[in-house]
A = this chain, B = another copy of it.
Amino acid sequence: MEESTNKFKFSLLHVDPTGARSGEIQTPHGKIETPIFMPVGTAGAMKAMTTRQLLECSAQILLSNAYHLHLQPGTAIIKKLGGLHSFMDWHKPILTDSGGFQVFSLPKKEITQEGVKFKNQKTGDEFFLSPENSISSQNDLGADIIMAFDECVPGDADKSAAKKAAHRTLLWANRCLKAHKNKNQALFGISQGSIYKDLRIENITELKKLDFPGYALGGLSVGEGIETMSRVLNWSVPLLPENKPRYVMGIGLPEDILCAVESGIDMFDCIIPTRYARSGVLFTYGGKIRIRSGRYKHDKYPVDTRAYSYTSQNFTRAYLNHLYKSNEILAATLGSIHNIHFFMDFVKQIRNAIFENRFAEYKIEFLKLYTQRNKHG
């Protein structure tokens, strides 16, 4: 089962009894094994990590945001300098998000059928983002996968607001397709419809007619909780084409990722590993640890011997505790390297489990160990 857009091709390799799937995406900058976690380097930079360090964590694709790069430094500059891969020295696949999520999160904006007018919160400059100029910005950046410009409503939006946004997203999806000029980039469609079953069904049914090379579910992980998210995934994912990559945006914690994979999702992204790292929360197979805690002051062991990151290989928990206590920038760097390594190792284990038809067992085993520490403090 294959679907290609020039250099873009998705191959579904195996489906586990639970419905969890593993596959491979080929892009102009190399292949991606799915299910895949995509680390986020919002403004064309991983926070507190070099791209070389990201590569050493076995990252396969990085996510960046056209919205932020549109405001600073401007996507035309990046195009002139040879595109985003070269600009940030990352020569593996990149996915850019359209900025829909960010623009609709702004406190003040003016939404019309044309697009969204808003002010740069730092400079006060007025900007306008539309399906056409979001795609044009993403064409400038040259990511391997780009995203349609969608309207995302908050998790607590009522049904009429969710319906309006889903309709607009569909209309804009058409305009994004027409605006898309660089056929080396795969443009993914985004489904909206919040937590409402009929809206999701209608939205996905219509989006499918547009024949995008991949589909994302937007408007999840926006405060609805894992049970609701799981329910929405269970309705929505079976409607998506089997032979195309399926991406759920903005997740998440390891438990969210397991839930998404089980429902048949192939791709996910989140700022959690790097943001948590900066606040001193490190992921281990034994659960999350708060490394600033006094219990680690004398701890001579690595953060996690199973997620054997550069950080775990070379430093003790006591050293990390010291760095966080001293507010050293290096704390953020070593913490981020560890957490990204953990997430990449985790999805590798998931892929292996799927290939061996034991995803259900893997999920139970993982959660048993992982939730132990969090339960007992």
Write the residues of chain A forming the contact surface with B, with a CB cutoff of 8 angstroms: 43-50, 52, 68, 72-73, 77, 80-81, 87-89, 297-298, 300, 310, 314-316, 318-319, 321-323, 325-326, 328-330, 332-334
CB distance from A192 to the nearest CB of B (A): 29
A81 CA / B297 CA spacing, docked (Å): 11
Q: Does A329 lie within 8 Å of B47, measured CB to CB?
A: yes
CB distance from A23 to the nearest CB of B (A): 32
- Copies of this protein in the complex: 2
Q: Does B298 lie within 8 Å of A50, measured CB to CB?
A: no
**B residues in contact with A52, CB < 8 Å:** 310
A328 in complex: contacting residue of B47, B323, B325, CB < 8 Å:
B47
A48 in complex: contacting residue of B297, B316, B329, CB < 8 Å:
B329
* Interface pairs (23), CB distance under 8 Å: A43-B322, A43-B326, A43-B328, A45-B323, A47-B329, A48-B329, A48-B333, A50-B330, A72-B322, A72-B325, A72-B326, A73-B322, A73-B325, A77-B297, A77-B298, A80-B298, A81-B298, A81-B319, A87-B318, A87-B319, A87-B322, A89-B314, A333-B333
**B residues in contact with A332, CB < 8 Å:** 329
**B residues in contact with A325, CB < 8 Å:** 72-73
CB distance from A368 to the nearest CB of B (A): 32
**B residues in contact with A81, CB < 8 Å:** 298, 300, 316, 318-319
A315 CA / B82 CA spacing, docked (Å): 12
Q: A44-B319, A46-B330, A50-B334 are in contact. List 17 more A-B contacts (CB 8 A).
A: A43-B322, A43-B328, A45-B326, A45-B330, A47-B329, A48-B329, A49-B330, A50-B333, A52-B310, A68-B326, A77-B297, A80-B298, A87-B319, A89-B314, A89-B315, A329-B329, A333-B333
CB distance from A230 to the nearest CB of B (A): 35
**B residues in contact with A68, CB < 8 Å:** 326
CB distance from A169 to the nearest CB of B (A): 29
CB-CB under 8 A for A319 and B88, given A326-B45, A333-B50: yes
CB distance from A281 to the nearest CB of B (A): 17
**B residues in contact with A323, CB < 8 Å:** 45
CB distance from A91 to the nearest CB of B (A): 10
**B residues in contact with A334, CB < 8 Å:** 50
Q: Does A47 lie within 8 Å of B330, measured CB to CB?
A: yes
**B residues in contact with A326, CB < 8 Å:** 43, 45, 68, 72
**B residues in contact with A89, CB < 8 Å:** 314-315, 319
**B residues in contact with A46, CB < 8 Å:** 330
